[in-house]
A = this chain, B = another copy of it.
């Protein structure tokens, strides 16, 4: 799956988001957006970048992830204190979380039907509803 100009689409994506297409951002975007959707931590992505040809500092990985998050290119998922996960799947969806292994798995939004939600308190509006289905190994 080689393309003649592999970076041009990524470059456009970054420019549209108001981010300069720097070496580091492009390399991370390539890792993140050229495969299927994924869940990962900053340190996992950093390790992956180090394993590839790109040398990027951990600080830059964090900066970039927050910038991509703010730009709507990915999102953060909170499932465990002291560990931030990021998610390249921007469709409306929810998650299975395997408490043992720390793995996340997507749950399509039509598999979780919320037929009733309370009104937000006065002066507040709902920004997002997260459903996390925590899983453990069945012991039988």
Contacts and interface: CB of A to CB of B under 8 A. Distances in A.
What is the predominant secondary structure among interface residues of chain A facing chain B? strand
Interface stretch (A12-20, A26-34, A131-139): A131-139
A137 B118 contact: no
State which size class the interface on A falls in. 35 or more
Given A126-B134, A134-B126, A96 B120 contact: yes
Q: How many copies does the complex hold?
A: 2
A125 B120 contact: no
Interface stretch (A47-55, A65-73, A106-114): A106-114
A83 interface: yes
A129 B135 CA distance: 9
A115 interface: yes
Given A81-B84, A126-B133, A128-B134, A116 B111 contact: yes
A115 B76 CA distance: 26
A113 B78 CA distance: 22
Interface of A: 76, 78-84, 96, 98-99, 105, 107, 111-118, 120-121, 123-138
